[in-house]
Copies of this chain bind each other. A is one copy, B any other.
Amino acid sequence: MEISGEAAVDRLAADLAAGLERVVSLLRALSQPSGLSMTAVATLATLEREGTQRLTGLAALAGVTQPAMTQLISRLEDDALVRREADPADGRVVQVRITDEGRATLARRRAGRAAKLAVILTQLSPEHQAALATAVPALDALAAARRDEPVLA
């Protein structure tokens, strides 16, 4: 007996939609109160992972509007975490690049989060820990798949 693929996806989507609600609180609790916003961290991570990006692209990837990204990049630039660069092929576009200081900040931030997460993870069963370890690449794939989905642009 084979499980219907379509129904399974819908079921998974519903479960995941409900489950992800809880992750927001977790993320907020993991963040230091006085630091970068969640969007700022996500954007820095994108720049580190994918390299230089244009501003509009970053806005779409972060799920915010273009004006919001313009302001975010300005703030990050003031903190010397990113650099605006001109695009030689198109005078309108702004290419955004992460700086070494940006990378260092991101690393520090991750280390802090990881330390807090590690404390919590030790309370979980080995099965749940294993499930999370397996899910990390899947979450990455999920985020990557969204990039190519015009519905969510």
Contact = CB atoms under 8 A, between A and B. Distances in A.
A9 B70 CA distance: 38
Nearest to A116: B152
Given A24-B42, A27-B20, A114-B17, A145 B132 contact: no
B16 A42 contact: no
Residue of A122, A128, A132 most packed against chain B (CB within 10 A): A132
A47 to B, nearest CB: 12
A118 interface: yes
A-B CB proximity, top 6 nearest: A135-B135, A28-B63, A29-B63, A13-B118, A22-B143, A131-B138
This chain: how many copies in the complex? 2
Interface residues of A, number: 70
B23 A132 contact: no
Contact of A131 (B117, B129, B137): B137
B141 A124 contact: yes
A3 B12 CA distance: 31
A109 to B, nearest CB: 8
29 contacts: A12-B129, A12-B132, A13-B113, A13-B114, A13-B121, A16-B121, A16-B136, A20-B23, A21-B41, A23-B23, A23-B143, A25-B62, A26-B146, A28-B62, A28-B64, A29-B63, A116-B152, A119-B149, A119-B151, A120-B142, A121-B142, A123-B148, A124-B138, A125-B141, A127-B138, A128-B141, A131-B138, A132-B139, A134-B134
